[in-house]
Structure 1
Amino acid sequence: MKKLIFVLSASLLLQSCIVSTATKAVTGVAKLGYKTVKGTVNAASWAVSKAAGKIDEDRVGGTWKVVGVYKGSYEQFQQDQNRESTFESECGEAYDQIIFKSNKSKFKPVHCSGQDEDWVKYDFEFGKNPITKEKENYIEYNSNNYITVIDVDNKTMVLEGNLMPKLSFSGARLYLLEKVK
């Protein structure tokens, strides 16, 4: 009888140790997974470097939503230790967006409230930007306005300039956009 009680006690103890260890392992993996995803999102958002060379204009085409805004220039951004976005959307469910039609060389910003602006014709250039005096990719519109195209990939685009007037009044200069379509 003592052997039976000893065996049952030992099996209960062993079973609780296994369950406890498994619970800790699952919790640890869940925490690690969360940190990895969170880190990846942050790294992708403001891991910005200027494109080396000409960017294909077709990469700019599509609908882009504004997901981050930096109040300052690209040079200030490079020196800033805390590069997090100061952007807080006032949109709720919707979002501010910019639609580029690269095949027709025009774009328009669209506020989340549905206030459309007119389509604006632009020229996509690679050369000496008249504003920065540097060789870079830029968009010229309304004959004397310039937006620097810092970089574009298949998911994100970073632009510098007076892109959305309603945000520019607060000092916004660097925009992080995420591709929607």
Structure 2
Amino acid sequence: MTEIYFNLLGNSRESYRKNLILKFLEEKAGSGTGELSSKYIYYVETTATGKKIYLLRPANLNKGMDFTVHLKDVQFRLIGPFKDRPTHSEIIQDLILKKEENNLEYEKVKPLINKLFLCQAVSDEEYRNLHFSKGIEIEGILKIIKWLFIEQDITYWNFSGRKMLYESLRINNLV
């Protein structure tokens, strides 16, 4: 397993996609299955509490430029593999929990998700200026959402890309 620390630069769907794919193109080819395959972990974000967001390649079920998004040492479910890899429904349930905890505070989350959707920068101060006691730390959830948007742009570029997750958030009145 090769571990790489990587800071993705970009300000649009196109630039995020291009720069990440160019990074993936630097990977060394595997020479077989199992121990002979090449596997990569890309550390891409860190929260104030030191939790790391990482991308895992290759993705288990997909081929090509696909990857999965993980929040290291955070458990989103009790059973199954990759407990640190959230599903869209787990992200949505966590955000609903936060909204129920403090709807007024949650109103500060909505513009940040919209900024992430529009590929606009969110400062560390904006992430860390939110306070919830329930669920996964909000900074980790928001940074995961950013990377799930990017993942969907790469996987579903010729279709709706990041709109798939965004639409699920919208339907649940989370943006």
Pairwise TM-score range, normalised by the shorter structure: under 0.3
TM-score normalised to the size of structure 2?
0.25
The structure that is strand-richer by fraction is 1
| Higher RCO (C-alpha under 8 Å, 6+ residues apart) | 1
TM-score normalised to the size of structure 1?
0.24
The structure that is helix-richer by fraction is 2
